[in-house]
C-alpha cells in the first residue's frame, strides 16, 4: 500500500467528476459569457447580462465532503474572504487564509480588477493593490 501524505491545503473545489467549475450556468452559457467579455463586459457583468448571479458557484457540497472526511481545520488558498466564512459555516476552522498571488498580465488585469472591485477579493498584486478602509 503506497504511503499517503497529508495535503497542506484542503482543496475546496471538490466536485463530482462530471461537473465543471461553471456547471450552474452550463457550458454553453459560459461560452456566451466569454463572448460578452470579448465584447468588453467584465466577468461579473457578463454573467449578469445572461441572467445569472455574479458568481453561481456553490461550495456547500465540497464543504460537506471535507467535514465528512473528518477535516476540522485547514489553511485555505483563496483571495475570496467569502469562502472563509462559507467554510466556517460548516463547522470547519480556517487557521490561515493564504492569498494566491501571481503578477497580473495584460490579459487578466480587467478580470482581477472585477474580482477585487465587484466580488470583494483581496488582491495585493502590483497595480491592483487592495485598498483597506481609511486609505
**Active site positions, annotated:** 55, 57
Alpha-carbon span 81 to 110, nearest angstrom: 20
| 46 secondary structure, DSSP code | H
Q: Which residues pair with 76 in a beta bridge?
A: 97
Closest CA to 75 of 100, 101, 95: 95
Alpha-carbon span 81 to 84, nearest angstrom: 5
Q: Which residue has the cell 480587467?
A: 110
Cβ atoms < 10 Å from Cβ of 94: 18
Instruction: Evaluate whether 87 touches 80 at the Cβ level (below 8 Å).
Output: no
Amino acid at each position: 500500500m503506497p504511503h499517503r501524505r497529508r495535503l497542506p491545503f484542503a482543496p475546496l473545489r471538490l466536485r463530482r467528476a462530471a461537473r465543471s467549475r461553471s456547471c450552474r450556468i452550463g457550458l454553453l452559457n459560459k461560452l456566451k459569457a466569454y463572448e460578452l467579455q470579448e465584447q468588453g463586459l467584465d466577468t461579473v457583468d457578463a454573467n449578469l447580462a445572461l441572467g445569472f448571479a455574479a458568481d453561481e458557484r456553490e461550495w456547500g457540497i465540497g464543504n460537506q465532503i471535507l467535514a465528512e472526511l473528518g477535516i476540522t481545520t485547514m489553511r485555505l488558498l483563496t483571495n475570496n474572504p467569502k469562502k472563509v466564512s462559507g467554510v466556517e459555516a460548516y463547522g470547519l476552522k480556517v487557521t490561515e487564509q493564504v492569498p494566491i498571488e501571481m503578477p497580473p498580465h495584460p490579459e487578466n488585469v480587467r478580470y482581477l480588477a472585477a474580482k477585487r472591485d465587484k466580488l470583494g477579493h483581496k488582491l495585493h498584486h502590483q497595480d491592483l493593490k487592495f485598498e483597506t478602509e481609511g486609505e
